[in-house]
């Protein structure tokens, strides 16, 4: 009952890219209850994370004062107790902490040049905060060594989308599935990772829509699927090219669409000749008659969509995987109409918005190249002329960590990211952070990354913030503060502004709406989307007029590429970087679970979620457990060429007999100690989804 609460505030769920709208009920200065409300992406629905994952914001581990590493602190490492920080840090005033944070970074800039400092921003922050962060690195240090977790998520999907359709965002909202009659869901597990989007997928099948699930791990949506293709890990390209081969061989493609809207079809057609279902069966493990049925069903659909996730993107051939999906949609003309489209389901709540805002090393806001003189002129028009700013693309997340390890990057500003847990080969990343001469971390908890910091700046959770976020559907929504940050913690945008000022930048923002106003000057995607409108509306970009709620489906009349044509880019089969062998005979894949979010810093401090899923665990097929002489609930040791962890084993028939699935949320058994840092050459995304591993009873 609303009488039970002091206030109710509308905001957006802080977890996944679905972007569910929530009402936050506050009593005595604390959020007590969260309810789903009628946003365009959720229509009142919430999953267990959105409903119960809120009390972390009041957890006793919240950082409430700036901290500075003690002169007599032990060597940098994960050896800090979040409940007893004073062994390593001392409390400081904001004045002292900001002076030290800015002073250390500017000393490095002076002694070694701006490129000695790099920044990781956050997909958990608002659009305005992401924009300010990339501007600070670019303007303050004159280069482009700024990135965020999109690099670990959909960077390869974005690389393929920009290359072939001219835009990195989805071509249709996930709600468009209500107008589709066929949908492919590949390399993602929406029931756990995008649960509210999954409700729309279930409604689609209830109406008779044909759902085709493709995943090396059998997953919950299988129960709703018309066809399930449990293909061999890493064999995506062979399977997808075989589907496309059938479409070509049986003449099922849409020649009219291809002629009107695409280029390079002849090369694609020629390339696909060798990928017969029979030839690919041995690689992908899918029977030719199933491949043929999927090809005919997809190509014969009146309208069809493709959804994908990190099972597609987190491979050294992640860009090739997405190229195949794009080609499949283009050759069948399944783009640009209601119920058609390409939709990489975004992970973090604002990874779409943070990427749009330029928090990436190769693009300024709106995915415009830092190497393009005309783009730089546009930016100068708003930021002021700055010929010293490098016109070369910067380093990506894992490249920055490697350069820190090598001693070339000497200082970092990390806002709201936890690479000491999320980077592949995490021990290597942790050693790199320990080597930094000056690390400034801005966060709400002492994350594993903050353990290595010289200065820690206490920041705000999403439910304490004002600003905008953009979800997987390109929908821009307002977030509003329901409660104030604890103690002396501040909103992230305000901390970044003060740091910039102390680094000598002439920044005069006094309100977050001014930042949004400046973003509109450099981002055409925000045309017709105003701060005023966002007070009462969610607007999908592009919005064609002040009254247009936005375009759910784009590219009906051509693509934002030269000549208006999308491109077919043929993809060859590339084996995973690390083949299983006698020492490491099985395959490890990583991912999320329904209850825990990414590195666990928020959800493991949420009482209900932590109670539901309290322990680090991995999943193995029951036959594999028997072969190992292990009972469900026993501990096993997982070892790869990077390291070992011990973790509780669960029996799970969804996992193939030669595989182990490991969630990456648990610091006590951190999956990323094991993962392979080999990169996709285009998106620079690591191969999280395939590592050769040995599994032993402990």
Q: How far is the CB of 610 from ligand SF4 (least distance, A)?
A: 16
Q: Which residues bind ligand SF4 (CB under 6 A)?
A: 13, 15-16, 18-20, 42, 46-47, 49-50, 194-196
Q: How far is the CB of 348 from ligand SF4 (least distance, A)?
A: 10
Residue placing its CB nearer to ligand SF4 in the complex, 176 or 425: 176
Residue placing its CB nearer to ligand SF4 in the complex, 20 or 444: 20
Tokens representing residue 338 in the block: 């209601």
Q: How far is the CB of 440 from ligand SF4 (least distance, A)?
A: 29
Q: How far is the CB of 659 from ligand SF4 (least distance, A)?
A: 26
Tokens representing residue 164 in the block: 């072939």
Residue placing its CB nearer to ligand SF4 in the complex, 238 or 418: 418
Given a contact cutoff of 8 angstroms between Cβ atoms, the answer to whether 466 and 451 are in contact is no
Q: How far is the CB of 42 from ligand SF4 (least distance, A)?
A: 6
Q: Which residues pair with 213 in a beta bridge?
A: 185, 228
Which residues are CB-neighbours of 508 under 8 A, at least 6 positions away?
A: none
Specify the 3-state DSSP secondary structure of 342: strand
DSSP 75: P
Tokens representing residue 314 in the block: 């987190």
Residue placing its CB nearer to ligand SF4 in the complex, 18 or 630: 18
Given a contact cutoff of 8 angstroms between Cβ atoms, the answer to whether 265 and 258 are in contact is yes
DSSP 73: P
3-class SS letters over 611-639:
HHCCCCEEEECHHHHHHHCCCCCCEEEEE
Cα–Cα distance for residue pair 662/591, rounded to 1 Å: 7
Cα–Cα distance for residue pair 493/412, rounded to 1 Å: 17
Residue placing its CB nearer to ligand SF4 in the complex, 165 or 351: 351
Q: Please provide the DSSP assignment of 464-492 as one string.
A: G--EEEE-TTSEEEEE--SSPPSTT---H
What dihedral do alpha carbons 470, 473, 477, 481 form, nearest 10°? Answer: -60
Tokens representing residue 331 in the block: 């050759």
* Element holding 112 (H helix, E strand): helix 94-112
Q: How far is the CB of 18 from ligand SF4 (least distance, A)?
A: 4
Neighbours of 380 (CB within 10 A): 13
Given a contact cutoff of 8 angstroms between Cβ atoms, the answer to whether 119 and 143 are in contact is no
Specify the 3-state DSSP secondary structure of 445: coil
Count how many residues are written for the chain. Answer: 698
Q: Where are the alpha helices (DSSP H) in 262-372?
A: 265-272, 277-284, 288-300, 310-313, 318-331, 351-356
Output b/e per residue, 567-595; b: 16+ Cβ within 10 A: bbbbbebeebbbebeeebebbbbbbbbbb
Sheet with 455-458, strands from edge to edge, namely 89-91, 67-69, 455-458, 438-443, 411-415, 117-120, 146-147
Residue placing its CB nearer to ligand SF4 in the complex, 24 or 692: 24
Neighbours of 623 (CB within 10 A): 11
Residue placing its CB nearer to ligand SF4 in the complex, 14 or 121: 14
Indicate left, alpha or beta for 416 from its phi (over 0: left) and psi (-120 to 50: alpha). left
Cβ-proximal residue to ligand SF4, closest one: 50
Residue placing its CB nearer to ligand SF4 in the complex, 195 or 277: 195
Given a contact cutoff of 8 angstroms between Cβ atoms, the answer to whether 54 and 12 are in contact is no
User: Helices 288-300 and 277-284: crossing angle, nearest 10°?
Assistant: 110
Q: How far is the CB of 417 from ligand SF4 (least distance, A)?
A: 18
Q: How far is the CB of 199 from ligand SF4 (least distance, A)?
A: 9
Q: How far is the CB of 46 from ligand SF4 (least distance, A)?
A: 4
Residue placing its CB nearer to ligand SF4 in the complex, 15 or 89: 15
Q: Please provide the DSSP assignment of 270-281 as one string.
A: HHHTT--HHHHH
Q: How far is the CB of 355 from ligand SF4 (least distance, A)?
A: 18
Residue placing its CB nearer to ligand SF4 in the complex, 49 or 135: 49
Given a contact cutoff of 8 angstroms between Cβ atoms, the answer to whether 340 and 209 are in contact is no
Q: How far is the CB of 173 from ligand SF4 (least distance, A)?
A: 14
Q: How far is the CB of 675 from ligand SF4 (least distance, A)?
A: 24
Residue placing its CB nearer to ligand SF4 in the complex, 540 or 639: 540
Tokens 């990414």, located at residue: 598
Between CA 108 and CA 161, with CA 376 as vertex, the angle to 5 degrees is 100
Specify the 3-state DSSP secondary structure of 135: helix
Residue placing its CB nearer to ligand SF4 in the complex, 10 or 431: 10
Q: Which residues pair with 566 in a beta bridge?
A: 262
Residue placing its CB nearer to ligand SF4 in the complex, 33 or 226: 33
Q: How far is the CB of 76 from ligand SF4 (least distance, A)?
A: 33
Given a contact cutoff of 8 angstroms between Cβ atoms, the answer to whether 314 and 286 are in contact is no
Q: How far is CA 434 from CA 329, 374, 425, in A?
A: 46, 40, 15
Residue placing its CB nearer to ligand SF4 in the complex, 473 or 496: 473
Which residues are CB-neighbours of 72 under 8 A, at least 6 positions away?
A: none
Residue placing its CB nearer to ligand SF4 in the complex, 42 or 475: 42
Q: How far is the CB of 99 from ligand SF4 (least distance, A)?
A: 38
Q: How far is the CB of 212 from ligand SF4 (least distance, A)?
A: 22
Cα–Cα distance for residue pair 397/409, rounded to 1 Å: 12
Q: How far is the CB of 49 from ligand SF4 (least distance, A)?
A: 4
Residue placing its CB nearer to ligand SF4 in the complex, 592 or 694: 592
Residue placing its CB nearer to ligand SF4 in the complex, 343 or 368: 343
Q: How far is the CB of 1 from ligand SF4 (least distance, A)?
A: 22
* Element holding 515 (H helix, E strand): helix 512-522
């Amino acid at each position: 009952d609303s009488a039970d609460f002091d206030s109710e505030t509308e905001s957006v769920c802080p977890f996944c890219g679905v972007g569910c709208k929530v009402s936050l009920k506050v009593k005595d200065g604390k959020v007590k209850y969260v309810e789903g409300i009628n946003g365009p992406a959720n229509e009142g629905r919430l999953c267990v994370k959105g409903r119960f994952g809120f009390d972390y914001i009041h957890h006793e581990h919240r950082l409430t004062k700036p901290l500075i590493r003690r002169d007599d602190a032990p060597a940098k490492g994960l050896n800090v107790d979040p409940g007893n920080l004073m062994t390593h840090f001392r409390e400081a005033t904001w004045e002292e902490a900001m002076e030290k944070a800015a002073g250390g970074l500017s000393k490095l800039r002076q002694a070694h040049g701006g490129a000695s400092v790099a920044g990781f921003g956050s997909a958990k922050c608002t659009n305005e905060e992401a924009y300010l962060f990339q501007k600070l690195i670019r303007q303050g240090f004159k280069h482009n060594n700024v990135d965020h977790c999109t690099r670990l998520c959909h960077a390869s999907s974005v690389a393929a989308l920009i290359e072939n359709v001219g835009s990195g965002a989805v071509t249709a909202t996930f709600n468009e599935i209500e107008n589709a009659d066929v949908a492919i869901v590949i390399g993602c597990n929406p029931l756990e990772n995008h649960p509210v989007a999954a409700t729309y997928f279930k409604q689609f099948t209830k109406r008779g829509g044909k759902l085709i699930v493709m995943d090396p791990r059998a997953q919950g949506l299988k129960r709703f699927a018309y066809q399930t293709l449990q293909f061999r890990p890493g064999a995506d390209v062979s399977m997808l090219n075989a589907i496309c081969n059938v479409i070509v061989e049986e003449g099922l493609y849409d020649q009219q669409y291809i002629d009107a809207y695409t280029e390079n079809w002849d090369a694609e057609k020629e390339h696909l000749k060798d990928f017969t279902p029979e030839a690919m069966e041995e690689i992908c493990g899918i029977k030719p008659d199933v491949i043929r049925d999927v090809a005919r069903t997809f190509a014969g659909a009146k309208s069809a969509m493709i959804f994908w996730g990190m099972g597609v993107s987190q491979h050294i051939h992640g860009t090739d995987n997405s190229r195949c999906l794009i080609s499949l949609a283009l050759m069948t003309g399944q783009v640009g109409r209601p119920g058609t489209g390409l939709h990489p389901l975004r992970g973090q709540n604002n990874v779409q918005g943070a990427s749009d805002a330029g928090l990436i090393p190769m693009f300024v806001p709106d995915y415009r190249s830092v190497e393009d003189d005309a783009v730089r002129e546009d930016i100068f028009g708003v930021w002021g002329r700055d010929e010293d700013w490098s016109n070369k693309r910067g380093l990506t997340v894992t490249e920055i960590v490697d350069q820190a390890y090598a001693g070339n990057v000497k200082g970092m500003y990390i806002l709201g990211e936890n690479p000491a847990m999320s980077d592949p080969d995490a021990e290597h990343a942790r050693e790199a952070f320990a080597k930094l001469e000056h690390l400034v971390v801005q966060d709400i908890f002492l994350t594993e990354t903050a353990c290595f910091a010289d200065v820690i700046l206490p920041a705000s959770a999403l439910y304490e913030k004002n600003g905008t976020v953009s979800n997987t559907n390109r929908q821009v929504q307002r977030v509003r503060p329901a409660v104030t940050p604890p103690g002396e913690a501040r909103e992230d945008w305000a901390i970044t502004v003060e740091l910039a000022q102390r680094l000598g930048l002439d920044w005069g923002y006094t309100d977050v709406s001014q930042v949004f106003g400046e973003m509109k000057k450099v981002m055409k995607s925000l045309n017709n989307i105003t701060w005023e409108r966002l007070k009462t509306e969610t607007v999908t970009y592009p919005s064609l007029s002040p009254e247009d709620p936005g375009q759910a489906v784009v590219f009906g009349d051509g693509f934002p590429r030269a000549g208006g044509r999308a491109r077919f880019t043929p993809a060859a089969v590339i084996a995973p970087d690390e083949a299983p062998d006698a020492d490491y005979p099985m395959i490890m894949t990583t991912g999320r679970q329904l209850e825990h979010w990414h590195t666990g810093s928020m959800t493991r401090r949420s009482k209900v979620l932590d109670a539901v899923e309290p322990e680090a665990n991995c999943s193995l097929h029951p036959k594999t457990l028997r072969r190992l002489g292990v009972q469900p609930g026993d501990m096993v040791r997982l070892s790869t060429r990077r390291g070992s962890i011990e973790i509780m084993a669960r029996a799970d028939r969804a996992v193939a007999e030669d595989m182990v699935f490991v969630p990456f949320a648990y610091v006590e058994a951190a999956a990323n100690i094991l993962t392979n840092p080999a990169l996709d050459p285009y998106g620079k995304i690591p191969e999280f989804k395939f590592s050769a591993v040995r599994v032993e009873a402990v």
